[in-house]
Homo-oligomer: A and B are copies of this chain.
Amino acid sequence: MSAKQKNAIKPSREEDYAEWYQEVIKEADLAEHSSIRGCMVIKPWGYGIWENMQKILNEKIKKTGHQNAYFPLFVPLSLFEKEAEHVEGFAKECAVVTHTRLEKNKEGKLVPVDKLETPLIVRPTSEMIIGQTFAKWIESYRDLPLLINQWANIVRWEMRPRLFLRTTEFLWQEGHTVHATSEEADNKAKEMLSMYTDFSENILAMPSVSGIKTESDKFPGAVATYTFEAMMQDKKALQGGTSHFLGQNFSKSCDIKFMSEKGQEEFGWMTSWGVTSRLIGAVIMTHSDDDGLVLPPKIAPAHVVLLPVIHNEEMKSKVLSFCQKLADEMQKQTFGENKIEVIIDSRDIRGGEKKWQWIKKGIPLRIEIGPRDMEKNNFPIARRDKAHNEYSFLSKEDLIKEVQNILEDIQKNIFYKAKQFMQDNIFDISTKDELYSFFTPKNTQKAEIHGGFALCHLADTPENEKILKEDLSVSFRCLPFDLGQETGKCLFTGTECAQKVLVAKSY
């Protein structure tokens, strides 16, 4: 539709999805690569999205009984290696602080001089450092459940960085809880996953399939990992976030014991769960189009841009003061948990250029304000979820009255669109041939476009995982909670499977 528009993103989604993604970020001014390999700079418009996500999620985390705290950035190697599976899972990605002082050497070159006794790992996750602290905090069952959350930066060395999706440093929240029983901990892990999917659907307008990870894809050290997998517009899966039931693995490594009601010393049952700034990437890929970024109004850094149309100096102050009054009226109102934010863009640049900048930034509503519109009290309004040249008209009074409803309508509209797309691209697959055909690109021009999400019976074994990876470059995403519950025989081995597994290409 708009692919031929000269102002559109180049390349289009069809032409090169990966490159389109980079361009959407660039044109919306969300983030950029820094000079440090894999580390990004999150620019104000991108960080504004993160702040809104953080604010809303933080409220949800507090309402479910958790308290925020802050733990050290560093994990001593001697502590980190206490949980064998855990350290093995992260060893390749660790950034290691080995020294603590700089001094000039004989050639006058600054070099690190004081070597640490035990190297410090820049936290790739905080189970061990938090676990060690929890061991001091917990004595009896009366101290349980212990429900803590942390907002922090995380470092996992990344060889193939992509803005938001895979970066060496990223931002996240990580919840860590301790419970008196296995059942209570497992329920907490599931509860937090459903908090995430609720957030994803209602705030990010992003539908997903939730389920349990297969054995090979679990968090290192976890008993079970729950996940929600969203579908991007190239039909690949993106893991939106995970929640882990850790059993007693970490309480044993960290010596987290409590005196039970019966007076017996027991190890605590733990969970951990997190979502990251990667969700910004997921939002971009779920909603944006060939014109650029599309944002769910609930996390947009601003909701409305007023574009004054000024032909001469005489009218300027009149138009601008009208804009200011309109903005004030709108900004008295809230949308979701936030105040409605209105920008008056009075920069002296070409109208078309200005309009396209805002389209590409994904602002939900654009309203043009010119002397004639003021005279007629009828203003052209463009919604970002419609075509760029599709306008409706409202009076000032109706604009003020309707702005919340319009934003709500955009929020719902992009959610249903994404949901429809996902539903249209989940298929039940019942033979091996069908599976192979499903994941074989049909058209060389669209090399990345394949079938979508496949639901099929496949035994959860490393062998099957390997075949999928080598033959089709796809992987097990999860054993869904609400899809493919029927038993059946593994397409590869004939083994009996209790339910279907979700298979897809993934980010």
A residues whose Cβ falls under 8 Å from a Cβ of B: 32, 34-36, 39-44, 47-48, 50-51, 67-77, 79, 81, 87, 91-103, 110, 112, 119-122, 129, 132-133, 136, 148, 152-153, 155, 157, 169, 171
Q: How far is the CA of A99 from the CA of B120 in the complex (A)?
A: 11
Verify B101–A98 contact, CB threshold 8 A: no
CA A104 – CA B197 in complex, angstroms?
39
Set of chain B residues within 8 Å of A35, measured between Cβ atoms: 76, 79, 132
In the bound complex, residues from chain B placing their C-beta under 8 Å from that of A148 are 44
Q: Which residues of chain B are near A133, meaning CB under 8 Å?
A: 32, 34, 41
Q: Which of B69, B74, B76 contacts A42 (CB 8 A)?
A: B69
In-complex Cβ contact of A69 among B41, B92, B100, B121 (8 A): B41
B91 A68 Cβ-Cβ under 8 A: no
Are the CB atoms of B96 and A97 closer together than 8 Å? yes
Bound-complex Cα distance A171 to B36 (A):
22
A96 to B81, CA, bound (A): 21
B68, B69, B96: the one contacting A112 at CB < 8 Å is: B96
Q: How far is the CB of A48 from chain B (nearest CB, A)?
A: 7
Q: Is the CB of A72 within 8 A of B110?
A: no
Task: Report A24 CB to chain B, min CB distance, Å.
Answer: 19
- Complex contact A99–B101 (CB within 8 A): no
| With known contacts A69-B47, A148-B44, A74–B129 Cβ distance under 8 A | no
Bound CA–CA A121/B136 (angstroms): 31
Task: List residues of chain B with CB within 8 A of the CB of A32.
Answer: 133, 136
Partner of A96, one of B34, B100, B132, B136: B100
* A92 CA to B169 CA, complexed, in Å: 25
Look across to chain B and name the residue whose beta carbon is closest to the beta carbon of A104. Answer: B91
Cα–Cα distance between A43 and B93 once the two chains are bound (Å):
28
Most buried by B among A36, A87, A121: A36
Nearest CB in chain B: distance from A61 CB, A: 12
Chain B, Cβ-Cβ closest to A169: B73
Question: Are B96 and A40 neighbours in the complex by a CB distance under 8 Å?
Answer: no
Beta-carbon nearest neighbor of A67 in chain B: B44
Q: How far apart are A148's CB and chain B's nearest CB, in angstroms?
A: 7
Do A73 and B39 have beta carbons less than 8 Å apart? yes
A177 to chain B, nearest CB (A): 13
Contacts of A87 in B (CB 8 A): 102, 110
Q: Across the interface, which residues of B come within 8 angstroms of A67, CB to CB?
A: 44, 47-48
Residues in B whose Cβ lies below 8 Å from that of A47: 67-70
Q: Which of B41, B43, B69, B96 contacts A72 (CB 8 A)?
A: B41
Please report the C-alpha to C-alpha distance between residue A96 and residue B101 in the assembled complex, in whole angstroms.
7
User: Which listed residue (B41, B92, B157) contacts A70, Cβ 8 A?
Assistant: B41
Known: A87-B110, A91-B102, A100-B157. A72 touches B120 (CB 8 A): no
Given contacts A42-B70, A98-B112, whether A36 and B76 have CB atoms under 8 Å apart is yes
- Please determine whether A69 and B44 come into contact, CB atoms closer than 8 angstroms: yes
